[in-house]
Chain A
Amino acid sequence: EAEVAQSPRYKITEKSQAVAFWCDPISGHATLYWYRQILGQGPELLVQFQDESVVDDSQLPKDRFSAERLKGVDSTLKIQPAELGDSAMYLCASSLSGTPYEQYFGPGTRLTVT
């Protein structure tokens, strides 16, 4: 069964350093989502892509976060510089175009900023 892949699974970094996460959606899924899940809370949408275009990045802290999906397939989420408050699980999900109600989630990247 096809799955959303994410790497790394765990990342520890010092504050003020740069960090990047990678996501490979299910083949054929044109829509890709990045969520942030703070411990004890539900996931919150950071950015949504339709193919290579950003559809919604209203909750993305653009002063330090950036996301790209250059060829409309895999995607990278970057944080520079990392802050202590960025410690969280970063989830990637994907769906077929036009079916946001059928999102498939990856295993996530757990980020710890020290």
Chain B
Amino acid sequence: AQTVTQSQPEMSVQEAETVTLSCTYDTSESDYYLFWYKQPPSRQMILVIRQEAYKQQNATENRFSVNFQKAAKSFSLKISDSQLGDAAMYFCAWIGNKLVFGAGTILRVKS
């Protein structure tokens, strides 16, 4: 069975600094997508960044970038120049035939 593991239940970062959220996954499939979703308190889940497994180049979206290590089955999210609005629950997710989520990491941003 496919699993997604986020080993950091909670992380804190100072405003304007950089933070990295960790994620590992387990699958025997070779073609899949990986995602990071953001879920602010009482607000809907939004897609932060997406990585296609066949692409070796790491995805980047403005201040958000990933470190995708396919052989190690690792998919970390780096947030640069952290802002107060980045505070949220972050979910790592994998999709083969269906979307499988990790347990989430709460990110707190200190001013």
User: What is A's interface to B at a CB cutoff of 8 Å?
Assistant: 4, 33, 40-45, 48, 56, 91, 100-101, 103, 105-108
Contacts and interface: CB of A to CB of B under 8 A. Distances in A.
A105 B45 contact: yes
8 contacts: A33-B99, A41-B104, A43-B91, A43-B101, A91-B45, A100-B98, A101-B33, A101-B35
B50 interface: yes
A108 B44 contact: yes
B11 interface: no
B99 A100 contact: yes
- Give the interface SS of chain B, mostly helix, strand, loop or mixed: strand
Interface string B83-111: 00000000101010111011110000000
A69 to B, nearest CB: 17
Interface string B1-17: 00010000000000000
Interface in B28-60: 33, 35, 43-46, 50
Nearest to B37: A105
A42 B102 contact: yes
Given A42-B101, A105-B46, 6 more contacts: A40-B104, A42-B4, A42-B104, A48-B98, A101-B33, A101-B95
